[in-house]
Structures are given as structure tokens and as C-alpha cells.
Amino acid sequence: MSNHSSATEFCLLGFSGSQELHHLLFAVFFLFYSVTLMGNAVIIVIVSVDKRLQSPMYFFLGHLSILEILLTSIIVPGMLWGLLLPGMQTISLTACVAQVFLYLALGTTEFAIVGAMAVDRYVAVCHPLRYNIIMNSQTCIWVVIASWLFGLFSEIWPVYATFQFTFCKSNVLDHFYCDRAQLLRLSCDDTLFTEFVLFLMAVFIIIGSLAPTIVSYTYIIFTILRMPTASGRRKAFSTCASHITFVVIGYGSCLFLYVKPKQTQAAEYNKVVSLLIYVLTPFLNPFIFTLRNDKVKEALQDNMKHCCQLFKK
């Protein structure tokens, strides 16, 4: 490639190792991806059809599951295809732009939804008598719409700024998808200022959505500790446990990947953290929100019994 031309397509190195290792990784990641799709689809269906789950908490959970399905489907199928085929996988510049925009936009939307879920738990635990008034259906719908719009529009400039550079060092990305950090490494231009702005935006989005979560749970913890009975404290905590678990896992991974002044970190580091974000965390989420939530477990058991009775007939 000429030193003064920009890449029109990129080659993804994917994972190193033998073909046997690739086949093993394919089997593992395909299993994880299948469980992710089925688990989140079950949550979406059960939240939609079961009247016991017609509340703001589960309304947000349904949208979170939709985001998880979309987010993993942008990354994982291409990664699986690359594991099956020998050699490097190619992706066009247009497809790369679309992929970067979609995973950043959906990820940002997810952070906004998670923040809204924390506020919802705060209102439910700390202001239970006013919960139905504050968290009414119209408010929830507008919160979700605002989250989606914020996610889509906030990532337009970062993606535009990333692809304004000339990628003339190489067209080979040492990753299994179009990772923004690896793209910046291929640029012959000075990316320092853009990387710093991207760092500030990542801080604003991730820490900004984490702040209401921290504040909400601070109030929740103090409210729970003041409850007179152990059963009341246990019930209040159980409604928040799954959300807390998701926050720790999801935010922890993204802080390691995006909130750093220098975006062009080592490829192997990027791959490991990306696997946590796009493969492991979405795989765990259906279990987190079902096994740790009594209402969802009851709804699942009852609907499974109902389905079994229908099949017997």
C-alpha cells in the first residue's frame, strides 16, 4: 500500500494459534452466543407477556436485553466466521465505519438504560408510595427514547473523527472486529488530540451514567439499613442485586477498554477485554437477571409449566 493512500478495506488478524484451537474457540464462542440470544430472547418474551412483570424495572430490562442481542450480533458472527476460515478476514471501509458506529452507539444507549434502572430502583426503595406516580408508563417510554437518541447522536462525531484520518501504515487490524483503538494505530496522522477528546467523551458517557447509579445505591443502602425487619431488608436488596451485579461486570470491562487517555493500547489486551464485553458479559446477563430475581424465576416456571401442559394436550 502506498504511504500516501488510505485503506479502502481492512484485514482482521483475529486469533492466533492452530486451526484446531480456532475450532475449539468457535465451539465455545458459538455456545456462548447461542445462549446469549436465547436467554435474552426469553427475557424479552416473558417481560412482554407476563402481567407480573409489567413494571418499569422489567420494561427497562426488556430493552436492555434487546441491546445485548444487537450488540453481540454486530461483533460475534463475524468473529465466528473468521475462526472457521483459514487466513485473514477482510472487511470493507464502509462496513468498518458501520460496525464502529453501531457498537459504540448501542453501548452508549445501554449505559443510559442502566443508569435509568438505578434511578428506578432508588424510587422503588426510597419512595415506594410515590413510585407509580414518578415512574409512570409515559416517563419510562420517554426515558427509553431519550436513551436511544443519546446513544445514536453522541457517537456521530467520534466515528466521523476516527475515519477522517489516513490509514496508510497498513490495512491489517490485529483484532477480530474493527476496533477503534487499532484503527488509530494505523493512521499516519497525529491522533493525539482526537484520542484525548475521545477519552473525555468516554469519561463523560461512562462515568456520567455511573454517577446516578452510585448516588442511587448510596441512598438505597442507607434506606435498607434503616428498615426495621430482616425480611424487609432482604426483599429490598433482592430487587437490586441483579442490577448491581450487571453494573460491576459491565462497567468494569468498559472502564478498562475505553477510559484511558491513550487509545492505542496493546492488541492482546484489547482482545481479552473485548471478549469480556461482547461475549462473556452478554452470556452472563440472562442468568444474572433470572437466577437473582424471584419474580422472573416465578414467571419463567409458571410459563414453562403452561407450555408443557399445552404440549401434552
Task: Give per-residue pLDDT as tens, 45-101.
Answer: 888 888 878 888 889 989 999 999 999 999 999 999 988 887 778 889 899 999 999
**Residue 69 has what pLDDT?**
94
In DSSP notation, 14-54 reads ---S-HHHHHHHHHHHHHHHHHHHHHHHHHHHHHHH-GGG-
Model confidence over 237-249: pLDDT tens digits? Answer: 766 777 777 777 7
Helices 56-84 and 93-126, packing angle to 10 deg: 150
- Please report the pLDDT score of residue 174 as a whole number: 86
Residue with the bigger pLDDT between 297 and 286: it is 286
Q: How far is CA 52 from the centre of its chain?
A: 26
pLDDT band at 19 (very low <50, low <70, confident <90, very high): confident
Place of cell 452510585: 214
Tell me if 192 sits within 8 A of 262, measured CB to CB.
no
Say which residue, 25 or 209, is predicted with more confidence.
Answer: 25
Pick from 235, 39, 204: nearest CA to 115: 204
What mean pLDDT value characterizes the chain?
83
List, for residues 161-211, the tens digit of each pLDDT value: 889 888 887 888 888 899 888 888 888 888 888 888 888 888 888 888 888
The correct answer on CATH 1.10.10.10 for the domain covering 17-312 is no
The pLDDT of residue 73 is 94
Going from N- to C-terminal start, the domains of the chain cover 17-312
Q: Helix 56-84 to helix 281-291 angle, to the nearest 10 degrees?
A: 150
| 126/288 Cα distance (integer angstroms) | 23
Which of 23-37, 106-120, 255-269, 289-303 has the lowest average pLDDT? 255-269
Residue identified by cell 404440549 is 311
Contact 36, 282 (CB under 8 A): yes
Contacts (Cβ under 8 Å, ≥6 apart) of 182:
173, 174, 175, 264, 267, 270
CA 237 to CA 12: how far, in whole Å?
Answer: 45
For position 3, what pLDDT does the model report?
47
Res 109: pLDDT: 94
Q: What percent of the chain has pLDDT above 70?
A: 87
Share of the chain above pLDDT 90, in %: 27
Contact 115, 34 (CB under 8 A): no
pTM over 0.75, yes/no: yes
Which range has the top average pLDDT, 48-52, 95-99, 265-269, 277-281?
A: 95-99
Question: Are 120 and 60 a contacting pair, CB within 8 Å?
Answer: yes
Residue 259 buriedness (CB in 10 A; 0-12 / 13-18 / 19+): middle
Give the three-class secondary structure for 89.
Answer: strand
Type of residue at 29: F
